[in-house]
Amino acid sequence: MSDNHAEHEEHIGIPGYLVIFLILVFGTIFTYFSSFWDLDSIFPGANTLLALAIAFTKMMFVILYFMHVRWSSKTVWLAAVAAFFWLAIMFAFTMQDYFTRISGVFSV
């Protein structure tokens, strides 16, 4: 990953890894307990939204630090971003069909 062999010395080291680990553990526990709150009474889907936001944050920490993307070449960034971009295409363009099937509006 690193562009030269000296560079990996600059990675976060053991204390850094432990901090990331604690963040991930905290995120997991937080997701767990937040699921019992009735956030859906605020607006429908709020529970899921919060859970996904936490999951996404956890993923970013894993990708950036455990998988060393923060120190990686642009091509690696490109691969990671492209994958999620295409995933978004698949979600968005499939769901635009289902979201617009409300009877009498766009469907027959």
Partner 1 sequence: MQEVSAISGNSVPADEPKLNYINNGHTLKSWLLTKDHKRIALMYLVSVSAFFLMGGIYAGFIRLELLTPASDLLETATYNKVFTQHGILMVFFFLIPAIPAILGNFLLPLMIGAKDLALPRINLLSLYIYWIGGIITLWALMQGGVDTGWTFYTPYSTTFSNSYVMAVGIGVFINGFSSILTGLNFIVSIHTMRAPGMTWFRLPLFVWAHYATSLVMILGTPVVAITILLVAIERFARIGIFDPAIGGDPILFQHLFWFYSHPAVYIMILPGMGVISEVIAGFSRKRIFGYEFVAFSSIAIAVFGFLVWGHHMFVSGQSIFAGLVFSFLSMVVAVPSAIKTFNWTATMYKGSISYDTPMLYAIGFLGLFLIGGLTGLFLGSVGLTVHLTDTYFVVAHFHYVMVGGQVIAYLAGIHYWWPKMTGRMYSEFWGKISAMLIFVGFNLTFFPQFILGYMGMPRRYASYPEELQVLNIFSTAGASVLGFGLVMPVVYLIHSLFYGKKAADNPWMHPGLEWRTSSPPPTENFKEMPVVTWEAYDFGEESGLDLEDARKREAVTI
Partner 2 sequence: MTAHGDTHEHHEPGLQHQFEDMHQQEESVSIGMWAFLAQEIMFFGGLFTAYLVFRWRFPMAFAAGSNHLDEFMGGLNTLVLIVSSLTMALTVYYAQKGNRTLQVVMIVLTMLFGATFLGVKAIEYTDKYNHGLVPVTGWNKKVKEDVSAPHVTEQDCTQVGHGDGDDHYVNPKGEFQWKDCSLVKLAQDHNYLTEDEKIGYFTNGEIDANKFRDKVRLFYYIYFVMTGLHALHMIIGLGVMLWLLWKAWIGTFGPKYYAPVEISGLYWHFVDIVWIFLFPLLYLLGRHFLH
- Residue 42 as a binder of partner 2 (CB under 8 A): the answer is no
Residue 36 contact partner, candidates partner 2, partner 1, none, CB within 5 to 8 A by sort of partner: partner 2
Residues numbered 85-104 forming contacts with partner 1, rule: CB under 8 A = 86, 89-90, 93-94, 96-98, 100-101
SS3 55: helix
Q: Give CA angle at 94 (89, 100), nearest 5°.
A: 125
* Nearest-angstrom CA–CA distance, 48 and 71: 32
Q: What is the H or E stretch that residue 65 is in?
A: none
Q: Which residue of 42, 43, 76, 100 would you call a contact of partner 2, by CB under 8 A? A: 76
Residues numbered 3-22 forming contacts with partner 2, rule: CB under 8 A = 3-5, 8, 11, 13-14, 17-18, 20-21
Of 59 and 82, the one with the shorter C-beta distance to partner 1 is 82
Q: Which residue in the block uniquely carries the two structure tokens 């010395």?
A: 9
Phi, psi (deg, nearest 5) at residue 37? -75, 145
Give me the residues that bind partner 1 (CB under 8 A), please.
75, 82-83, 86, 89-90, 93-94, 96-98, 100-101, 105-108
